[in-house]
Structure 1
Amino acid sequence: MRFPRLMAIFVGFSFLLTGTAHATAPDPAPGARYPIRDTALTKNKLYRSGELEASECPERELQARSVTSAKRYLTSVLTCLNASWGAHFKQAGMSFAKSRITFGTDPRRFCGFKWGKSSAAQYCGRERRFLVKLDKATLADPSDLFLFAVAAHEYGHHIQTITGMERAFDHYPYKGKRELGEQFRRYELQAECLAGVFMGSVWDSLDRTEEDWDFLLELTRYSGDEEHKASDHGKGRTIAAWLDKGFRAASPAACNTWTVPSSKVR
């Protein structure tokens, strides 16, 4: 399983090359090789918004190799995501906007950019929607939680957009490829943690077992940078750890990847 690269990040590359730092935050946690000092990232109001309230999101039937059933399944998951996060933002007194979803069996471009070969889905911040690729590989096994997790991850990027974190990330300066890679990993791992938060909040309604969750984590451990010779998402075990952390906490407070030591985002 490979969670996708965020196309909206590439939209912001010009900002990354020329951007300047925002307001200075308190000293970051010890061990941060490239400390992040923008309070929009490190002290966002989202972290103080409390736990996501438990809600219902029963899974629809998902048939193997069926694009039609996958569209219905994912549309249903998106409805849950919009409802759950919308209620959470309202309770916290935060501005909210829904995300949209589209599908493609062989997408070539999205959000103005070429589709990544290893991408199962992409989120577009400027359009506030994400596209899921419904090819044979994606639809091969309807029994696992892969598609559910893909939608929840992309919605994590949507949460970053509507809370101002995407913009802060796009504008944040860096010096060199390694620092940029770590910033990407912090961004992607936060989206993964937020996916876990949502999945934890609806878990009791999914009619799933602990073994199902463990299997998803095992799949995730094989989706990391080491499998794709990259350095922008984190190693598989790191991705799985942040997904599980969000799941266990069911709170965005667990997902502040911007202040943890560099060793937690490798």
Structure 2
Amino acid sequence: MQWQGRRGSANVEDRRGMSGGGKLVGGGIGGIVVLVIALLFGGGDIGSILNNMTGTSTSSGSDTPYQGSQQEEELAQFVSVVLADTEDVWTQIFAEKGLKYEDPTLVLYNDSVQSACGTAGSSVGPFYCPGDHKLYIDLSFYDELKTKFQAPGDFAMAYVIAHEVGHHVQTLLGTTNMGAKQTNAQSVRTELQADYFAGVWAHHAQDMNVLEQGDLEEAITAASAVGDDTLQKKSQGYVVPESFTHGTSEQRMRWFKKGFDSGTIEGGDTFSAKNL
């Protein structure tokens, strides 16, 4: 993705190096596995999960200015540019519908972070909190995406940001009550619609001539890597379809690609779709 030298978003809140404080999620390896499966790229009933799990903070609590590695600082700039692109795209789409788009805030953090949905450890992965309209991400997830999930490339990370922004779009449109407790089946439809909206953004990013060769494939690879069936096979060796909360790899790839091909909000009604 061509991003160097382009506008970054003013809606980035950098909390790196700050202590998250409070009660943390992810108590031990078992908790991490559950959270990765249940919440990765999520945004459904995150509040109830965060508030019902405990752990131990690894933050130092230091308030000294944070300085990451060169790679981390470049990644921070990259996600800021991606966020800015999502602002431009969704502002235009909403305006065409006679609606006003409200920009979300992206929060960068290390180890743990406090949100309106509770206090989360980085093991949760990137998430969106509808209570404060903020996206939360620990940039170390980029390395995890490359190594653990075998989904390398900057546009794989762009897909992650666009998916979380997709949850924000859902909140603004009222397509789903993300603060309410959802069944697994409802959660799958919520997540697949966020994938669709990520594809819509990618469609417009292509029109902006910022995509490079291989970018679309990187996003599709990332969508496949975080399918419930793929994650469950890796973590426990078998799949339990009734426990799916995000959709299969095939579903996630297909709905992202559907949004990419369409470029419009129409066609993304996963809640009425008979066949996901």
After TM superposition, the score normalised by the length of structure 1 is: 0.67
Matched, 1:236 2:246: no
**Retained in 2: the 8 A contact 1:156–1:192?**
yes
Structure 1, unaligned stretches of length 5 or more? 14-63, 175-179
**Retained in 2: the 8 A contact 1:121–1:130?**
yes
Match of 2:199 in 1: 196
Amino acid at match of 1:258: F
Amino acid at match of 2:257: D
**Retained in 2: the 8 A contact 1:226–1:236?**
yes
Matched, 1:184 2:196: no
SS of match in other structure, 1:239: helix
**CA displacement, residues 95-116 of structure 1 (integer Å, 9 cap, x when unaligned):** 3211110112323654343537
Q: 1:224 aligns with which of 214, 224, 227?
A: 227
Distance between the aligned counterparts of 1:116 and 1:226, measured in 2? 24
Q: Residue 88 of structure 1: CA displacement?
A: 1.9
Amino acid at match of 2:256: L
Distance between the aligned counterparts of 1:215 and 1:247, measured in 2? 13
Q: Residue 9 of structure 1: CA displacement?
A: 2.2
Q: Residue 145 of structure 1: CA displacement?
A: 1.2
Distance between the aligned counterparts of 2:112 and 2:229, measured in 1? 25
**Retained in 1: the 8 A contact 2:223–2:252?**
yes
Match of 1:31 in 2: none
Amino acid at match of 1:81: T
Match of 1:90 in 2: 95
Distance between the aligned counterparts of 2:195 and 2:223, measured in 1? 10
Match of 2:85 in 1: 80
Distance between the aligned counterparts of 2:222 and 2:168, measured in 1? 23
Q: 2:270 aligns with which of 248, 257, 263?
A: 257
CA RMSD of aligned residues (A): 2.9
Q: Residue 160 of structure 1: CA displacement?
A: 0.6
Structure 2, unaligned stretches of length 5 or more? 1-35, 50-68, 233-242
Query: 149-158 or 196-205, which moves further after superposition?
Result: 196-205
Q: What pairs up with 1:101-250 in 2 under 5 angstroms?
A: 101-107=106-112, 110-115=115-120, 119-135=124-140, 136-138=143-145, 143-167=153-177, 170-171=179-180, 180-204=183-207, 205-209=209-213, 211-229=214-232, 230-250=243-263
Match of 2:63 in 1: none
**Retained in 2: the 8 A contact 1:120–1:150?**
no
Distance between the aligned counterparts of 2:249 and 2:115, measured in 1? 26
Change (3 A) 1:240 1:116: farther
Q: Residue 259 of structure 1: CA displacement?
A: 0.7
After TM superposition, the score normalised by the length of structure 2 is: 0.65
Distance between the aligned counterparts of 2:79 and 2:189, measured in 1? 26
4+ runs deviating over 6 angstroms: 139-142
Matched, 1:100 2:115: no
Q: Residue 65 of structure 1: CA displacement?
A: 7.3
What is the aligned length?
205
Matched, 1:9 2:41: no
Q: Residue 142 of structure 1: CA displacement?
A: 6.6
Q: Residue 213 of structure 1: CA displacement?
A: 1.5
Identical positions, percent = 21
Change (3 A) 1:244 1:116: farther
SS of match in other structure, 1:101: strand
Match of 1:55 in 2: none
